[in-house]
């Protein structure tokens, strides 16, 4: 006979046996409702996230309530670490305060004598006002405008004036010579002070060009020259050859062809040579070598104005252009206190301003871009500065917006910063409710960074993997804070 569950239950009930109903529980056996904050209790701790990242070195962070400035969570908030390119947020605040939102950089063509029947009786000066965004297209337009005012020839010399800012060979002397993010800085800049190097193998030999290319033009230059040398390493060498940038490149590193931007060490000469090419194309004779002058005196024939400062800063923060940061920072320092000798003096003025305003009393910057690994700022100072900057200021709108993968309703507006074994992130978390957050996260393995030899500093072994882990940690912390404090 087949025994079934229904049959067994029926037999038990028919016989009067009720073992299943005896001693019924006094409370419901249904699951108790979950606590309202159960999902918050399940969020992994910040300490566990840091341990999982396996970064070594130091991790400092702070997250604050935007309304009150209250620090909600922190780790080593007073520890000074390298801020890398997040320093550009402080430079932006400094420049906006000193220069104002309407500031535009001006580049001029100045005549030192009268223009009669198309002839200038005197010198023509390309006078820089520090514009960090001046490009090849702008110089071409200025040459066309010079023709439109009737100039055809000059009796004197063609000169460049770059004294609006001190001329610096590079931003950080501890970087390799050939990296394009470490160019010279001066009062007359072009194409972020980078020259385009291109090579192509033809019939067993290499054809190389050095030019100031843009979308519209490709004027070749002679002030930067390249020689292909039969070697494997080093890939590049640089030397000052009688006032010109002399480069060599290892034949074994070139392959069949390619291109890259190299830094320019004499930006005024670079801009002058490119303008001279465009002037000649317009039928304006600017013969002889490009000279230099400290004088800006004369009659302005042509003006070129940059975009307004907020637009320049937006692009600087988005693309992390070091040249722009150094130029706007030094220009702000000059406006506030007169000429500066270099980046260290200018950065010291910014440090004093940050302290005077109560934004970051412990900041110790040595430049305005964050390229130097010796600058220091604490995560606590940065978070509090971001609170102040985000309350009615324009900085927040200049930052890039990033979606948060697991919480798309809380986008992040932030600035990243990366050096070898240094990774930083600062900005704002938007809340669907009332609690927006300001934050700063600094990760740095200083001993490991210091051990990287100069030859490996463009891409050190293990550097990319370390940076990925640091970024994973930063976004995990943002997910945590978004869940805990904005939900």
Cα dihedral sign, 335-341-343-345: negative
User: What contacts 279, CB < 8 A, 6 or more positions away?
Assistant: 143, 146, 158, 285, 286
User: What contacts 363, CB < 8 A, 6 or more positions away?
Assistant: 90, 350, 351, 354, 355, 376, 377, 381
**Burial class, 381, CB count within 10 angstroms (exposed 0-12 / middle 13-18 / buried 19+):** buried
**Residue 179 covered by a domain:** no
**Residue 3 covered by a domain:** no
Report the alpha-carbon distance of residue 185 to residue 166 in Å, rounded: 8
Q: Are residues 317 and 431 in the same domain?
A: yes
- What is residue 16's predicted lDDT score, i.e. its pLDDT? 43
Report the b/e string of 93-117 with b at 16+ CB within 10 A.
bbbbebbeeebebbbbbbbbbebee
Report the alpha-carbon distance of residue 487 to residue 466 in Å, rounded: 31
Q: Are residues 344 and 374 in the same domain?
A: yes
**Residue 9 covered by a domain:** no
Q: Are residues 215 and 275 in the same domain?
A: no
Select from 211, 246, 265 the last residue of a domain: 265
Q: Are residues 330 and 429 in the same domain?
A: yes
Confidence of residue 32 (pLDDT cuts 50, 70, 90): low
**Residue 11 covered by a domain:** no
pLDDT in tens, 349-387: 999 999 999 999 999 999 999 999 999 999 999 999 999
Report the alpha-carbon distance of residue 129 to residue 431 in Å, rounded: 42
Q: Are residues 334 and 232 in the same domain?
A: no
Lowest mean pLDDT among 320-334, 338-352, 396-410: 396-410
Q: In what order do the strands lie in the sheet with 115-116?
A: 115-116, 119-120, 153-154
- What is residue 295's predicted lDDT score, i.e. its pLDDT? 87
CATH number at residue 111: 3.50.80.20
pLDDT in tens, 4-28: 444 434 443 344 444 433 444 555 5
Confidence of residue 406 (pLDDT cuts 50, 70, 90): confident
Q: What average pLDDT does the segment 22-48 reach?
A: 63
**Residue 5 covered by a domain:** no
Q: What average pLDDT does the segment 206-234 reach?
A: 96
Structure tokens at 309: 């400062």
What phi and psi values does residue 326 have, to the nearest 5 degrees? Answer: -70, -40
Confidence of residue 34 (pLDDT cuts 50, 70, 90): low
Structure tokens at 348: 């010291």
Select from 255, 288, 305 the last residue of a domain: 305
Q: Are residues 424 and 440 in the same domain?
A: yes
Contact in structure between 478 and 47 (CB atoms under 8 Å): no
Domain count, the chain: 3
In DSSP terms, 200 is beta-bridged to 207, 257
Task: Please name the residue that has the structure tokens 């993968």.
Answer: 405
Q: Are residues 345 and 292 in the same domain?
A: no
**Residue 36 covered by a domain:** no
Task: Please name the residue that has the structure tokens 């700022």.
Answer: 377
Q: Are residues 353 and 453 in the same domain?
A: yes
**Residue 17 covered by a domain:** no
Percent of the chain with pLDDT over 70: 91
Q: Are residues 301 and 312 in the same domain?
A: no
pTM over 0.75: yes
CA dist 88 → 56, 157, 323, 328 (Å): 26, 39, 11, 10
Helix pair 87-99, 322-337: axis angle to 10 deg: 40
| Residue-wise DSSP of 36-88 | TTHHHHTSPPHHHHHHHH---SEEEEEEEETTT--EEEEESTT-EE--GGGHH
Select from 239, 265, 291 the last residue of a domain: 265
Confidence of residue 407 (pLDDT cuts 50, 70, 90): confident
Domain range holding 380?
A: 41-102+308-485
**Residue 34 covered by a domain:** no
Q: Taking Cα atoms as reference points, which of 412, 415, 420 lies closest to residue 467?
A: 420
Q: What average pLDDT does the segment 438-459 reach?
A: 95
Q: Are residues 376 and 243 in the same domain?
A: no
Q: Are residues 427 and 345 in the same domain?
A: yes
Q: Are residues 331 and 464 in the same domain?
A: yes
Q: Taking Cα atoms as reference points, which of 483, 477, 485 lies closest to residue 42?
A: 483
């Amino acid at each position: 006979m087949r025994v079934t569950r229904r049959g067994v239950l029926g037999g038990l009930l028919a016989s009067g046996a009720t073992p299943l109903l005896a001693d019924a529980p006094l409370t419901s056996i249904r699951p108790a409702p979950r606590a309202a904050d159960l999902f918050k209790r399940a969020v992994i701790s910040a300490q566990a996230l840091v341990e999982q990242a396996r970064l070594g070195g130091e991790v400092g962070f702070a997250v604050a309530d935007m309304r009150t400035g209250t620090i909600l969570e922190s780790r080593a908030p007073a520890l000074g670490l390298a801020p890398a390119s997040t320093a550009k947020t402080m430079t932006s605040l400094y420049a906006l305060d000193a220069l104002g939102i309407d500031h535009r950089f001006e580049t001029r063509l100045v005549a030192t004598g009268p223009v009669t029947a198309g002839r200038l009786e005197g010198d023509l000066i390309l006078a820089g006002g520090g514009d960090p965004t001046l490009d090849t297209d702008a110089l071409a337009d200025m040459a066309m405008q010079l023709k439109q005012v009737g100039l055809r020839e000059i009796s004197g010399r063609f000169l460049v004036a770059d004294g609006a800012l001190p001329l610096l060979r590079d931003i950080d002397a501890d970087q390799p010579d050939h990296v394009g993010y470490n160019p010279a800085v001066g009062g007359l800049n072009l194409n972020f002070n980078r020259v385009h190097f291109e090579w192509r193998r033809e019939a067993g030999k290499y054809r190389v060009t050095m030019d100031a290319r843009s979308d519209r033009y490709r004027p070749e230059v002679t002030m930067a020259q390249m020689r292909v040398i039969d070697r494997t390493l080093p890939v590049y060498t640089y030397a000052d050859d009688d006032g010109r940038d002399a480069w060599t490149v290892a034949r074994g590193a070139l392959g069949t062809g390619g291109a890259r931007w190299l830094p320019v060490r004499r930006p005024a000469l670079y801009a002058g040579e490119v303008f001279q090419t465009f002037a000649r194309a317009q039928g304006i004779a600017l013969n002889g070598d490009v000279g230099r002058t400290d004088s800006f005196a004369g009659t302005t024939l042509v003006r070129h104005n940059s975009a307004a400062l907020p637009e320049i800063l937006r692009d600087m923060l988005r693309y992390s252009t070091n040249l722009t940061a150094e130029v706007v920072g030094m220009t702000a320092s000059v406006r506030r206190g007169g000429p500066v000798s270099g980046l260290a003096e200018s950065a010291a003025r910014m440090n004093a301003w940050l302290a005077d305003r109560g934004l970051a009393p412990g900041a110790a910057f040595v430049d305005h871009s964050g390229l130097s690994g010796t600058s220091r700022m604490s995560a606590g100072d940065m978070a509090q500065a971001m609170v102040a900057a985000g309350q009615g200021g324009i900085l927040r709108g200049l930052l890039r917006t990033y979606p948060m993968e697991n919480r798309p309703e809380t986008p992040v507006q932030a600035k990243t910063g990366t050096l070898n074994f240094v990774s930083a992130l600062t900005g704002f978390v938007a809340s669907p409710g009332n609690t927006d957050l300001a934050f700063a996260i600094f990760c740095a393995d200083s001993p490991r960074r210091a051990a990287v030899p100069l030859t490996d500093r463009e891409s050190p072994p293990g550097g990319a993997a370390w940076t990925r882990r640091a970024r994973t940690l930063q976004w995990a912390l943002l997910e945590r804070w978004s869940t805990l404090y904005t939900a």
